[in-house]
């Protein structure tokens, strides 16, 4: 065995150039497969960050059954215990409490039904970029009875900052929830749906309006950038009383986004198939040529009495060594590129880029630096490389030493 290893190692360096070409085939295979997948997964991550990060949040906690039936009867009490328990979970950097319920809004002749969302402005300031979205007026303070509405909604009612809107709704335990509120600020949301429907109110005021003092419909968690939201969901489920609360990650909250990504990913996998097809062929070509070039050498070895089994073992070990060297080098070389494009993503050009921006998406294609991408593709490429080198083994067994030596 040791002999085989030594021979294989020496063979490798006896013809450096040839080995380097094979190693570089493996190198480029890993390099391009990871590059492609990193771009694909990176764009999905960007999509999720844009949609989830700005409003829904990666993880939400509700009263059990709220998501199924979103009424105030399924709201929960906002206790210090709950707050402390949630904040003590690893990876949770902050929480934003919200109370959300349906109401009719009217001004003059016009009426429209929409959701009224009670928020704590200080907690949402950064997440929703309230300052950046403000087109006129001010951001209401915590206990200032005012509204912040979407620009589209303001246009619909033809109202400005300082005008008032009438709210008509049903509160907790069926009490009537009516009020007249001045508009404190107007916000511009890139997403046209949000822009046409959003109405914010200070949390305490919303609780008062709906007769739901101290209650919330959802608690949205801010999560540390490097923490997987699934871990947070798991830990929260372990910490909290799951007969009272439900913990949901964005994949559950926005199943359609997940499906869209999956659908797109299916197309992306076809690209990967094709890429692998080309990579495999490139590798196979190299092995094929290498074997052809070494026929003479193999012929002599077999003629002087080397067992074909051992010769085959040596070539396999050579292939294994070259694969490992190439794959490792490829995995290392792609890393700085992954990091570079994550920091400096490719910008989409033209009208499309601008349109995406208007819809609230950053028009960029960053890469993902998830190490599992590299690991899984290392595995696949190594497998393909070893499969290709089986050709050498087969041809050794089929070799006719006399003919081979004459070639």
Return the structure tokens found at 376: 């899984």
Binding mask 275-314 for other proteins (x = CB under 8 A): x-xxx-xx--xx-xxx-xx--x------------------
For other proteins, which residue of 264, 306, 335, 369 counts as binding (CB under 8 A)?
Answer: 264
For other proteins, which residue of 64, 188, 234, 258 counts as binding (CB under 8 A)?
Answer: 258
Q: Which is nearer to other proteins, 14 or 142 (CB)?
A: 14
Return the structure tokens found at 170: 């049903």
Q: Which is nearer to other proteins, 296 or 307 (CB)?
A: 296
Q: Is residue 35 at the binding interface for other proteins, with CB under 8 A as the rule?
A: yes
- Say how far apart CA 157 and CA 163 lie, in whole Å: 10
- Say how far apart CA 48 and CA 114 lie, in whole Å: 25
For other proteins, which residue of 7, 167, 199, 261 counts as binding (CB under 8 A)?
Answer: 261
Work out the number of other CB atoms within 10 angstroms of the CB of residue 372.
10
User: What stretches of 210-246 show up as alpha helix (H) in DSSP?
Assistant: 229-239
Q: Is residue 65 at the binding interface for other proteins, with CB under 8 A as the rule?
A: no
**CB within 8 Å of 114: residues ≥ 6 apart:** 102, 103, 105, 153, 197, 198, 199
| Listed residue (133, 95, 102) closest to 210, CA to CA | 102
Question: Which neighbouring-strand residues pair with 364?
Answer: 347
Q: Please tell me the count of residues contacting other proteins according to CB under 8 A.
A: 53
Q: Which is nearer to other proteins, 223 or 322 (CB)?
A: 322
Q: From 155-163, 216-224, 251-259, 374-382, give the range in contact with other proteins by CB under 8 A.
A: 251-259
Sign of CA dihedral 378, 381, 382, 383: positive
Q: From 20-28, 89-97, 237-245, 326-334, give the range in contact with other proteins by CB under 8 A.
A: 20-28
Decide: 288 and 391 in contact? Cβ < 8 Å: yes
Smallest separation, CB 102 to other proteins (Å): 9
Q: Is residue 351 at the binding interface for other proteins, with CB under 8 A as the rule?
A: yes
- Say how far apart CA 400 and CA 165 lie, in whole Å: 93
Task: Considering only the C-alpha atoms of the chain, give the largest distance between any 2 of them, rounded to a whole number of Å.
Answer: 103
Q: Is residue 224 at the binding interface for other proteins, with CB under 8 A as the rule?
A: no
Q: Which is nearer to other proteins, 290 or 301 (CB)?
A: 290
Q: Is residue 322 at the binding interface for other proteins, with CB under 8 A as the rule?
A: no
- Say how far apart CA 357 and CA 204 lie, in whole Å: 34
Q: Looking only at residues 360 through 379 of this chain, which bind other proteins when binding is defined by CB under 8 A?
A: 365
Smallest separation, CB 61 to other proteins (Å): 23
Q: In this structure, are strands 245-249 and 164-170 parallel, antiparallel, or unpaired? A: unpaired
**8-state DSSP, 348:** P
Question: Which neighbouring-strand residues pair with 94?
Answer: 222
Smallest separation, CB 296 to other proteins (Å): 8
Which helix (DSSP H) or strand (DSSP E) does residue 195 occupy? helix 192-197
Q: Which is nearer to other proteins, 136 or 260 (CB)?
A: 260
Three-class secondary structure of residue 95 per DSSP: strand
The dihedrals phi and psi of 155, each to the nearest 5 degrees, come to -65, -40
Q: Which is nearer to other proteins, 43 or 389 (CB)?
A: 43
Q: Looking only at residues 159 through 198 of this chain, which bind other proteins when binding is defined by CB under 8 A?
A: 193
For other proteins, which residue of 8, 11, 12, 39 counts as binding (CB under 8 A)?
Answer: 39
Interface residues with other proteins (CB under 8 A) are 17-18, 21, 24-25, 28-29, 32, 35-36, 39, 43, 113, 193, 256, 258-267, 269-271, 274-275, 277-279, 281-282, 285-286, 288-290, 292-293, 296, 346, 348-352, 355-356, 359, 365
């Amino acid at each position: 065995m040791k002999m085989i290893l030594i021979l294989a190692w020496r063979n490798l360096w006896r013809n450096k150039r040839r080995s380097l070409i094979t190693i570089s085939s493996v190198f480029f295979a890993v390099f391009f497969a990871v590059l492609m997948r990193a771009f694909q997964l990176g764009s999905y991550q960007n999509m999720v960050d844009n949609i989830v990060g700005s409003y829904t949040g990666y993880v939400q906690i509700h009263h059990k059954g709220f998501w199924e039936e979103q009424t105030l009867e399924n709201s929960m009490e906002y206790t210090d215990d709950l707050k402390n328990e949630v904040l003590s979970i690893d990876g949770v950097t902050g929480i934003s409490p919200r109370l959300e319920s349906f109401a009719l809004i009217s001004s003059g002749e016009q009426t429209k039904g929409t959701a009224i969302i009670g928020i704590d402005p200080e907690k949402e300031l950064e997440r929703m970029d309230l300052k950046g979205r403000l087109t006129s007026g001010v951001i209401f303070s915590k206990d200032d009875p005012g509204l912040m509405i979407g620009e589209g909604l303001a246009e619909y009612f033809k109202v400005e900052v300082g005008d008032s809107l009438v709210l008509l709704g049903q509160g907790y335990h069926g009490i009537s929830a009516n009020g007249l509120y001045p508009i404190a600020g107007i916000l511009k949301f890139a997403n046209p749906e949000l822009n046409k429907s959003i109405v914010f109110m200070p949390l305490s005021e919303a609780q008062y309006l709906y007769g739901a003092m101290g209650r919330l419909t959802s608690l949205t968690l801010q999560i540390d950038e490097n923490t997987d939201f699934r871990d947070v969901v798991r830990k929260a489920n372990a910490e909290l009383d799951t007969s009272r609360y439900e913990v949901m990650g964005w994949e559950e909250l926005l199943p359609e986004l997940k499906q869209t990504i999956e659908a797109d990913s299916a197309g992306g996998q076809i690209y990967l198939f094709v890429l692998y097809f080309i990579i495999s062929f490139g590798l196979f070509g190299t092995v094929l040529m290498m074997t052809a070039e070494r026929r003479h050498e193999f012929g002599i070895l077999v003629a002087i009495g080397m067992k074909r089994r051992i010769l085959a073992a040596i070539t396999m070990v050579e292939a294994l060594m070259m694969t490992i060297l190439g794959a490792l080098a490829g995995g290392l070389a792609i890393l700085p590129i992954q990091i570079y494009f994550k920091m400096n993503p490719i910008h989409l050009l033209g009208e499309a880029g601008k349109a995406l921006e208007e819809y609230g998406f950053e028009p960029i294609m960053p890469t993902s630096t998830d190490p599992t991408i590299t690991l899984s593709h290392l595995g696949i490429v190594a497998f393909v490389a070893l499969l290709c080198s089986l050709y050498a083994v087969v041809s050794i067994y089929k070799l006719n030493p006399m003919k081979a030596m004459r070639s």
